[in-house]
């Protein structure tokens, strides 16, 4: 008898399962809108020119393969924090931001979860929006936090249930942790407005909740890294202490390089040093120290004005292409007299759109039209391009008629 004979098989990953079904389909018209990775106007993966240049410099100047420190490449983490909090950020200027490199955004969330589970002085429950990125619940549960939910998405309006969100945060116990998508909410593509963020900041302060920002799409949402950082920077300017997970997967296209950062704002440099020491104690037994290559690439861009401005243009290019696909999809669906209101396709932001398509409709799209998306009707806008958007629009139109 094998040692593992009693191990039950677990459910497949809901997103990666879509890719498998797509790969098995032999129809030339097939479209994969499941995966959350950018594709160019020809449906191909895209390596940024700023990334290629930064990588070339590394290959010529940095051949050694020594270990990084536990918290990663110091110049990279400083530049990452500057990108997120902004140069004028008070805690940054005071040397009060504790920051560590992480295995992309997922690793940042996991370090944050583990740090909070060990050191957060209050009840260890974290509130997630409903719905949220599918990995949030297992990340925080496996970190040792109790996962709870607040209302976020309104099915009726395909918009933000702001009243429900406010009511649930008001009803949360004092000092609870609240996970906020800093911009480009995944999976809905729906963000609070600037006014709503300000209200949320006040409410979270009144209730003494602890905000944990997940910023996986800075720059990728609107095309501007500072506009996409508005919520985070506003909260910090209002005196909140925050936790922050950053990813360079989308905005630099560094998916497989696993490059990210986790940070906490602290009272002062002395407290920061204590927090830093404990971050190291959390990280060391997990993976000892992070991989170097992605951090060198990102740092090469963040620290060189010419590469930085090239990168800003490329992020904007990706964001703009997605925005243009939203406009085209909206217009085409209307031109085809597709039943329903599709304004949300245009108003949503970032890589994903919650179409409002039902599970049976998504199944019909896969079976009859070879169009693949997650069962909740989420599509990755980046999978659409000039060659497939008409076919996609016609297929959606047929599926809802
Ligand atoms: N948070 C959110 C909301 C995301 O959408 C993603 C990527 N799908 C991540 C975090 C983490 O991605 P990564 O680990 O690739 O940086």
Measured distance CA(349)–CA(126) in Å, rounded: 25
Q: What are phi and psi of 247, to 5 degrees?
A: -130, 140
Active site residues: 133, 214, 250
Task: Return the ligand 1 atom nearest residue 105 CA.
Answer: 16
Nearest Cα to Cα of residue 21 among 388, 322, 375, 393: 375
Angle at 120 between CA 105 and CA 188, to 5 degrees: 40
Measured distance CA(239)–CA(6) in Å, rounded: 52
Atom 5 in ligand 1: residue holding the nearest Cα:
186
User: How far apart are the CA of 250 and the centre of ligand 1, in A?
Assistant: 8
The runs of H, that is alpha helices, within 217-304 are 225-228, 230-237, 269-287, 293-302
What pLDDT, on the 0 to 100 scale, is given for residue 16? 78
Tens of pLDDT along the chain (401 residues) come to 999 999 999 988 877 788 888 999 999 999 999 988 999 999 999 999 999 999 999 999 877 899 999 999 999 999 999 999 999 999 999 999 999 999 999 999 999 999 999 999 999 999 999 999 999 999 999 999 999 999 999 988 889 999 999 999 999 999 999 999 999 999 999 999 999 999 999 999 999 999 999 999 999 999 999 999 999 999 999 999 999 999 999 999 999 999 999 999 999 999 999 999 999 999 999 999 999 999 999 999 999 999 999 999 999 999 999 999 999 999 999 999 999 999 999 999 999 999 999 999 999 999 999 999 999 999 999 999 999 999 999 999 999 98
Measured distance CA(247)–CA(135) in Å, rounded: 14
User: How far apart are the CA of 398 and the centre of ligand 1, in A?
Assistant: 32
Task: Return the ligand 1 atom nearest residue 107 CA.
Answer: 14
* Contacts of 288 by beta carbon, 8 Å cutoff, 6+ apart: 67, 70
What pLDDT, on the 0 to 100 scale, is given for residue 200? 98
Residue 72 DSSP one-character state: -
Measured distance CA(281)–CA(288) in Å, rounded: 10
Atom 4 in ligand 1: residue holding the nearest Cα:
216
What pLDDT, on the 0 to 100 scale, is given for residue 35? 82
Other C-beta atoms within 10 Å of 309: how many? 12
User: How far apart are the CA of 247 and the centre of ligand 1, in A?
Assistant: 7
Residue 166 DSSP one-character state: H
Contact 307, 301 (CB under 8 A): yes
Ligand 1 pocket at CB < 6 A: 36, 104-106, 133, 181, 186, 214, 216, 247, 249, 255, 260
Measured distance CA(261)–CA(99) in Å, rounded: 7
Atom 2 in ligand 1: residue holding the nearest Cα:
216
Give me the interface pTM, i.e. the ipTM.
0.99
Contact 247, 215 (CB under 8 A): yes
Measured distance CA(226)–CA(206) in Å, rounded: 26
The neighbouring-strand residues paired with 178 are 127, 211
User: How far apart are the CA of 16 and the centre of ligand 1, in A?
Assistant: 14
Task: Return the ligand 1 atom nearest residue 255 CA.
Answer: 15
pTM of the predicted model as reported, rounded to 2 decimal places: 0.96
Task: Return the ligand 1 atom nearest residue 109 CA.
Answer: 10
Nearest Cα to Cα of residue 126 among 210, 65, 190, 37: 210
């Amino acid at each position: 008898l094998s040692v593992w004979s009693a191990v039950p098989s677990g459910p497949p990953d809901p997103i990666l399962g879509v890719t498998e079904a797509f790969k098995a389909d032999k129809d030339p018209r097939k479209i994969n809108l499941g995966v959350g990775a950018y594709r160019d106007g020809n449906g191909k993966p895209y390596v940024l020119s700023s990334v290629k240049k930064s990588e070339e410099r590394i290959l010529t100047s940095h051949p050694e393969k020594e270990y990084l420190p536990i918290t990663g490449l110091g110049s990279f983490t400083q530049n990452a924090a500057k990108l997120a909090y902004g140069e004028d950020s008070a805690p940054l200027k005071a040397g009060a931001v504790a920051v560590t490199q992480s295995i992309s955004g997922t690793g940042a969330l996991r370090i944050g979860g583990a740090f909070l589970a060990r050191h957060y002085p209050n009840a260890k429950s974290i509130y997630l929006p409903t719905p949220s990125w599918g990995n949030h619940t297992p990340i925080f549960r496996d970190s040792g936090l109790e996962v709870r939910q607040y209302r976020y998405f309104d099915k009726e309006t395909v918009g933000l249930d702001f009243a429900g969100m406010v009511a649930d945060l008001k009803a949360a116990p004092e000092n609870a942790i609240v996970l906020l998508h800093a911009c480009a909410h995944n999976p809905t593509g729906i963000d609070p407005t600037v006014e709503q963020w300000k209200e949320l900041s006040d409410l979270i302060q009144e209730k003494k909740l602890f905000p944990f920002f997940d910023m996986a799409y800075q720059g990728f949402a609107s095309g501007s890294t500072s506009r996409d950082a508005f919520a985070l920077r506003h909260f910090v300017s209002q005196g909140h202490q925050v936790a922050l997970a950053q990813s360079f997967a989308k905005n630099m296209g560094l998916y497989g390089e696993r490059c990210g950062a986790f940070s906490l704002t602290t009272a002062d440099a002395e407290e920061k040093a204590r927090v830093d020491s404990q971050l190291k104690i959390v990280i060391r037994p997990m993976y000892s120290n992070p991989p170097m290559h992605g951090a060198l690439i990102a740092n090469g861009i963040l620290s060189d004005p010419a590469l930085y401005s090239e990168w800003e243009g490329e992020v904007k290019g990706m964001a703009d292409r997605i925005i243009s696909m939203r406009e085209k999809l909206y217009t085409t669906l209307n031109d085809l007299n597709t039943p329903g209101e599709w304004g949300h396709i245009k108003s949503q932001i970032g890589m994903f759109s919650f179409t409002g398509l039902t599970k049976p409709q998504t199944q019909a799209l896969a079976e009859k039209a070879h169009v693949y998306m997650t069962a909740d009707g989420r599509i990755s806008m980046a999978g659409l391009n000039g060659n497939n958007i008409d076919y996609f629009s016609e297929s959606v139109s047929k599926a809802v008629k």
